[in-house]
Amino acid sequence: MDVKEKLALNRVRNDEESHINIDQEKCRECSLRACLFVCPAALYEKNAETGEITVEFSGCLECGTCLIACPRGALKWRYPGGRFGVQYRYG
């Protein structure tokens, strides 16, 4: 079983409100765009029209990598509220 197959077995109970907030002003001045490359679930995207960075928080693995990798402190990140978030099957 490869990593993708293992990840597909995880369960996520989605909160209505995102646990990740992005400061678009800081992103506009960012040339690194690390969030687009480091997320193991590839949840970050750059909107082709507006240039804004978006995150599909419902698939978050709660690893915290994006928070550490962002060089401009543009992310506000917290764990999803009680009963919500990812449930791992393979650690």
- Please report, as ranges, the residues that interact with ligand SF4 according to CB under 6 A: 20, 22, 26-27, 30, 32-35, 38-41, 43, 53, 55, 60-66, 70, 72, 74-75
End-to-end Cα, the chain, rounded Å:
14
Q: At closest approach, how far in Å is the CB of 28 from ligand SF4?
A: 8
Q: At closest approach, how far in Å is the CB of 83 from ligand SF4?
A: 18
Token pair in block for residue 2 = 């490869």
Q: To 5 degrees, how large is the angle CA 20–CA 22–CA 28?
A: 160
Instruction: Pick between residue 8 and residue 32 the one whose CB is nearest to ligand SF4.
Output: 32
